[in-house]
Amino acid sequence: MSVLPFLDVALALLIVGLAVWTIAARVLFASVVGYVAYGLLLALVWVRLYAPDVALTEAAVGSGVTGVLLITAGKRLGAARAGEAGPAPGLAQKLFAGALALLVAGALAAVILILPDPAPSLAPQAAAAADGPGAGLGNPITAVLISYRSFDTMLEKVVLILAVLGVWSVGADKAWGAAPAPLGQRNPYGASVFLAQMLAPVGAVIGVHIFWVGADAPGGAFQGGALLAAMWMIAMMARITEPPRIDARRLRLALVAGPAVFLIAGLAGPLMAGSFFAFPHAFAKPIILFIEAFMLLSIAVALPALVAGPPSGRSE
């Protein structure tokens, strides 16, 4: 009898507890902080589910970058008066909505418990394809993302571009072209500067490493990109660097590099391997790594751009 089951239960309770806190906290900022902690713990659950890739992504994106985004927003809105968003719901409303939410959650739990056994799985197909379209990648997740379901991945990158443009478009007309507002206050001797100076290079190296090993081990462009993004954001928060102008050609090129290369590779598929988004067996791995490198770049730029928000000030 190992202690793991007890740890599992404790982890589950802790996570649900934090979720309750996130929902129930009276103060907006407390709720945001609760959510960030929750995200970190959730990464542990993913580890227990044998999903290290997801755990990395959840830690970096779901908790880390999202956390920065929400905390920044929470701070800016913190000054706002309570109740300005509208009246708090009445008790009857709470009970009714709560009952319905409970019903849906209960139905969901019931359905999860009766999922068919043995579970259907595409793992055998993925294993069979590992040497073909999978191109000998040791990490099946990377194979899925860049080969079997590459189309999803490319579209998701387009979604990121749109999100960046969407965020920018919320800004004022006169600010168009300028840089977003800085992420933090200037304090040349603060701890954050020190942290950033120490952490950012190390983190960046780890990020690139995660990307590089992602072909065979857990990791890949997403996780590596997210880590790089986090490092850049730390640097921006410490005001070591500033967010770039949104009309900078280099920024735009970096943002579209991933989907553009992906798209071109996909279009070249019929010439190389007889089908769109197919890669020739002999060169599949290098091609995939090549695509991933640009994706890494795009993610590393897109996530901070999303956090930094719309351009502010005047464009000239």
Partner 1 sequence: MSHLSSALLVATLAAPLALLAACFVKSWRPCALALQWLAPAPGLAAGVLGVTAAPGSFDLPGLGFTLRLDPPGALLLAVAALLWIVVTAAVWRERAPDERFGLCWLLTMTGSLGVFIAGDLVSFYLVYALVSIPAYGLFAFSDDAEKKRAGAIYMAFAIFGEALLLLGFAALAAGEPHGSSRIADVMAALPASPWRDVILALIVAGFGMKMGLIPFNGWMPLNYAAAPIPAAAVLSGAGVKAGVIGLIRFLPLGVPLQGWGEALAALGFLTAFYGVLLGLTQQNPKTILAYSSISQMGVIAAALGMALGAGDVSASGDVAFYAANHLLVKAALFLTIGALAARGAPLSGAPLGGWTLALAAALALSLAGLPFTGGALAKLASKAQFASGWAASLATLSSIGTALLMTHFVARLDAPPPDAARECPLALVRFWPAVALGAILLPWLFYPAFGDVSEALGLAKFWEGLWPVLIGVGLALGLRRLGLRRLGWPAPRVPAGDSIVLFEGAFARLLALGPGFETLDARLRQWPAAGVSLLLIVLALLAAGVLG
Partner 2 sequence: MSPWVLAGLVGAALVGLGLYGLILHPHPLRKLLAFNLIGSGVFLVFGIVARRGAAAGFSFDPIPQAMVITGIVVAFAASALAVALILRLHAESGRVTLDPEAWTKPDDGAAKS
Partner 3 sequence: MMAPDPTTPGGSLLVLAILLPCAGIILSFVLGGRNAERVALGLTPFGFALACAIAFHVASAGKPVVYALGGLAPPLGIALRADGVSAVMLVAAAVILTAASFYARAKFATPEGAPESRIALTFWIMLQAIWAALTIIFVGGDLFNLYVALELLTFAAVPLVCIDGRPETLAAALRYLLFALFGSISYLLGVALFYGAYGTLDIPLLAQKVQSTPIVWMAAALMTGGLLAKTALFPLHLWLPPAHANAPAAASAVLSGLVVKGSFFLTLRLWFYVLPALPAAGAANILGALGSAAIIVGSVLALRQARLKLLIAYSTVAQIGYLFLVFPLAMGAHVWSDIGWSAGVMQILAHAFAKAAMFLSAGLLAEALGHDQIARLGGAARALPMTFLTLGLGGLSLMGLPPSGGFSAKWLMLQASVASGQWVWTLPVLAGGLLAAGYVYRILTPALSEGDIVLKAPPKRSREAIALGLALIALALGFAPQGFFDLLEIGRPLAAGTLR
The tokens describing 85, both together, are: 């968003």
Amino acid of residue 267: L
Under the criterion CB under 8 A, does residue 107 sit at the interface with partner 1? yes
**Number of shown-chain residues binding partner 2 (CB under 8 A):** 93
Would the CA dihedral through 313, 70, 235, 261 be positive or negative? negative
Partner from partner 1, partner 2, partner 3, none contacting 252, C-beta within 5 to 8 A by type: partner 3
Cβ-based neighbour number of residue 132 at 10 Å:
12
Per CB under 8 A, contacts with partner 1 among 52-91 are 89
CB of 84 or CB of 316, closer to partner 2: 84
Per CB under 8 A, contacts with partner 2 among 8-37 are 8-9, 12, 15-16, 19-20, 22-23, 28, 31-32, 35
Out of 219, 291, 306, 311, name the contact with partner 2 by CB under 8 A. Answer: 306
161 forms beta bridges with none
DSSP per residue over 21-42, as a string? HHHH-SSHHHHHHHHHHHHHHH
CB of 162 or CB of 282, closer to partner 2: 162
Residues 298-313: b if buried by 16+ CB within 10 A, e if exposed: bbbbbbbbbbbbbbee
CB of 223 or CB of 234, closer to partner 2: 223
Cβ-based neighbour number of residue 73 at 10 Å:
15
Binding mask 159-198 for partner 2 (x = CB under 8 A): xx--x--xx--xx---------------------------
Out of 97, 202, 205, 248, name the contact with partner 2 by CB under 8 A. Answer: 97
The tokens describing 271, both together, are: 């010439």
Dist. CA 32–CA 66, nearest whole Å: 10
* Selected range binding partner 1 among 92-100, 211-219, 242-250, 257-265, rule: CB under 8 A: 92-100
Residues at the site binding partner 1, with contacts judged by CB under 8 A: 89, 93, 96-97, 100-101, 103-104, 107
